[in-house]
Amino acid sequence: MSQVQPRFDPDNPKYICCCCCHVTTGAKILASLSTIGVVFFVIAFCYGISLLGEVDPRTDKGHEDYNVLVFMGISLIIGTAVIGCLWYGLIKEREGFLIPMIVCSVISLFLTCLRGFFLFFSENTQNAGDKYIGPLFGWVCSIALQYWYFSIYKNAYDYIMHKRWSPLGDYGHSRQSEKEYIAEPKETAEA
């Protein structure tokens, strides 16, 4: 018994993310915001380099500044590569290029949960009472927002994958490997 693959429907409600916006549009909006964030990060990195002073060997002051700038530089390189992959995947509709952003979203979500867990169960929080209600609320909102971003990227990945691998004849999308090329003999002029 063979399975029949359902037709690809680009207007399926699972491909709508927010404000009746399609997931690819939502992912492009998030990619734009992330690109703006990377630009601000570049500005902060350049400003940090301009403020960098000399390391005093007697007091060993200044090493922390270098460590922060090295971390910022590595983060900038990785972030730029991930955003570049995201844009390429969204523009060329290649689902594999969305995977780095999905992985970064999962890592960010995990680290946010871990940070909130330690904040919630720390000794200072238990003793302070109402003082930590605001940060805990911010932590819950941060988790919800990051999960929402993750779901938009994941749904955009699913949309592009289903669109690319839909059977022939569905909305004109076909895989390159399934196209047939037929060579026809060229008519020659007879004298």
Query: Could you tell me the residue ranges of all domains in the chain?
Result: 19-169
CB-CB contact of 78 with 116 (8 Å): no
pLDDT digits (tens, 9 = 90+) for 96-140: 999 999 999 999 999 988 888 887 776 665 565 667 777 778 888
Q: How many angstroms separate the CA atoms of 185 and 118, rounded?
A: 74
pLDDT given for residue 2 in this prediction: 56
pLDDT digits (tens, 9 = 90+) for 149-176: 999 999 999 999 988 887 654 444 444 4
- Based on C-alpha coordinates, what's the Rg of the chain? 25
The mean of the pLDDT values for the chain is: 81
Nearest to 157 by CA among 3, 70, 30: 30
Question: What predicted TM-score, i.e. pTM, was given to this entire model?
Answer: 0.74
Contacts of 132 (CB under 8 A, 6+ apart): 119, 120, 124, 125
Return the percentage of the chain with pLDDT > 90, whole number: 43
